Amino acid sequence: MSRKALFLTAAVAAIVIAGSIALAVRDDDATSSGTGSSPSPAILAVEGVEGLPDTVSALPDADADAFRSLLDGLRGTPVVVNLWASWCEPCEREMPMLSAAAVEEAGVQFLGVDTLDSRSGAEAFIADHSVPFPSLFDPDASIRTDLGSFGLPVTVFFDADGNQVAKVDGELSRSALDEHLGAITS
């Protein structure tokens, strides 16, 4: 075999091996990142609620009508809705607090609405911040507009009867979160 053929064979073998390793690492990351196909502990086992993602990574498209329908389906459960975007610094700062509350408050359904964002940016944000609750994808901000808000973040609290109890436009403080959670869970 000539030197050139030997070199080409070795190069092709190296590319095949590197590709196999990359695929194996990606598969391992997808199953261990928490954004795979298993349900999150922060997604309540509410049966038959159309539109409620059953995994954190589902990120289904939604508009204002689909959002209202989802809220109707969640009646009987207090709900905290957080509108966020991957490019929003206040959203990034408040997400650890919201994530912890979503895990701690077992009887409350937390729901994110990714607004004015790219799907890839949203997926990366969910993975990077280990967001434990599901989010909807609203690239044109129809849900935010329907809620009467214009900036981000926005957090809206609904009681078990589906009544809007409070809305916080802007970054959420721990004291406001605690106060409004108390109002929807008492």
Range(s) of the domain holding residue 10: 1-32
Q: How many CB atoms lie within 10 A of CB 15?
A: 10
Residue with tokens 């909807």: 136
Residues 111 and 174 in one domain: yes
> What pLDDT, on a 0 to 100 scale, did the predictor assign at position 53?
84
Q: Are residues 103 and 176 in the same domain?
A: yes
Q: What is the pLDDT of residue 29?
A: 40
Banded pLDDT at 52 (limits 50, 70, 90): confident
Residues 19 and 82 in one domain: no
**Domain check: are 19 and 79 in the same one?**
no
- Contact (CB, 8 A) for 90 and 170: yes
Global pTM value:
0.77
49 confidence band (pLDDT: 50, 70, 90):
confident
pLDDT value at position 163?
A: 97
Of residues 52 and 28, the one with the higher pLDDT is 52
Provide the number of structural domains found in the chain.
2
Residue 44 in any domain: the answer is: no
